[in-house]
Amino acid sequence: MAQYQPQGFRVLPPAVKHLLIINVICYAAYYLLAKQHIMDLNALLGIWSLQSGNFHIWQPLTYMFMHGSFEHLFFNMFSLWMFGSALEEYWMTKRFVFYYMVCGIGAGLLNMLIPGFHVSVGASGAIYGLLLAFAMMFPNDYIYLYFLVPIKNKWFIIGMVAIELFEGIFRSYDGVAHFAHLGGMLIGLILVLYWRKHPFSRI
C-alpha cells in the first residue's frame, strides 16, 4: 500500500484551494443576503426532493457549495484541506476533481431516494467520499482523533460507516443527511475499486 508522506502545512494544491475559495464565497453570499432579508440562497441552491416542487436541475451540483452555518462550513473545509490535499497530491488534480464532484453529486442524488428527505446543503457527501478514499489509499497510516488519540485510517472509516448507518436508521430526523454521507462513501468506494482494476484509466 502507498504511504502518504505529508509535505507540511503549507501544502495547498490548486483544486483544494479553489474549492475552499468557492465554498467560502458561497457561504458569505448566503449569509449576507439572508441577513438583509433579500434572498435565501440555500433554498434556491440546496437540493430538494422531487415531491417538494422546489427541485431544479442545477441543485445536485450547487447544493454541495452551500452551508447552513459557519460551523458546518468550517468542519467541511477543514476536512477538505486535511484529506483533500493528500489525495490531490497522490492522484493529481484532474482525477481528484472528478472524484470530488462525482461523490458530491452522487451523494445528493442518492439522498433524494430516502423517504422524508426535504432539502439539503453542504459538501459533506463529497467530504465523506474523501474520507473513504484516504482510508483506502493509506489504510495503515494514523489519524489522531481530537488531535490526541491515534487510530489507523482503516478502523476510523469502518467506525464512521457504522456511526452514520446507525444515525441514519435511528436518528433520521435529527437534521443531518446521514445517508448523503453514506452515499458519498459508496460512490467513492465504487470509483476507487474501478481505478484499482483499471489503473491506467484517463480519469
Q: What is the mean pLDDT of residues 95-124?
A: 92
Share of the chain above pLDDT 70, in %: 91
Top pLDDT among 190 and 167 is at: 190
Note whether residue 157 is domain-resident. Answer: yes
Question: Could you give the CA distance from residue 184 to residue 127 in angstroms, rounded to a whole number?
Answer: 8
180: which 3 cell numbers? 448523503
Note whether residue 4 is domain-resident. Answer: no
Do 133 and 99 meet the contact criterion of CB atoms below 8 Å apart?
yes
Q: Which of 49, 120, 178, 181 is catalytic?
A: 181
Q: Provide the residue range defining the domain that includes 32.
A: 14-197
Residue 181 annotated in active site: yes
Residue 124 annotated in active site: yes
- Would you say residue 63 has pLDDT above 90? yes
Note whether residue 165 is domain-resident. Answer: yes
CATH code at 167? Answer: 1.20.1540.10
Question: Could you give the CA distance from residue 11 to residue 101 in angstroms, rounded to a whole number?
Answer: 21
Structural domains in the chain (count) = 1
Share of the chain above pLDDT 90, in %: 69
What is the rounded average pLDDT for all residues in the chain?
89
Note whether residue 202 is domain-resident. Answer: no
The pLDDT score that the predictor gives to residue 201 is 83
Question: Could you give the CA distance from residue 143 to residue 174 in angstroms, rounded to a whole number?
Answer: 27
Q: What is the pLDDT of residues 29-39, one digit of tens each?
A: 999 999 999 99
Note whether residue 132 is domain-resident. Answer: yes
Q: What is the pLDDT of residues 120-155, one digit of tens each?
A: 999 999 999 999 999 999 999 988 876 778 899 999
Top pLDDT among 96 and 172 is at: 96
Model confidence at 200, pLDDT cuts 50, 70, 90, reads: confident
Note whether residue 113 is domain-resident. Answer: yes
Model confidence at 82, pLDDT cuts 50, 70, 90, reads: very high
The pLDDT score that the predictor gives to residue 172 is 61
The pLDDT score that the predictor gives to residue 8 is 45
Model confidence at 88, pLDDT cuts 50, 70, 90, reads: very high
The pLDDT score that the predictor gives to residue 1 is 47
b/e burial code for range 151-185 (CB count within 10 A of at least 16 → b): eebeebbeebbeebeebbeeebeeebbbbbbbbbb
Model confidence at 21, pLDDT cuts 50, 70, 90, reads: very high
The pLDDT score that the predictor gives to residue 166 is 84
Model confidence at 175, pLDDT cuts 50, 70, 90, reads: low
Q: Which of 79, 124, 178, 201 is catalytic?
A: 124
Note whether residue 183 is domain-resident. Answer: yes
The pLDDT score that the predictor gives to residue 199 is 85
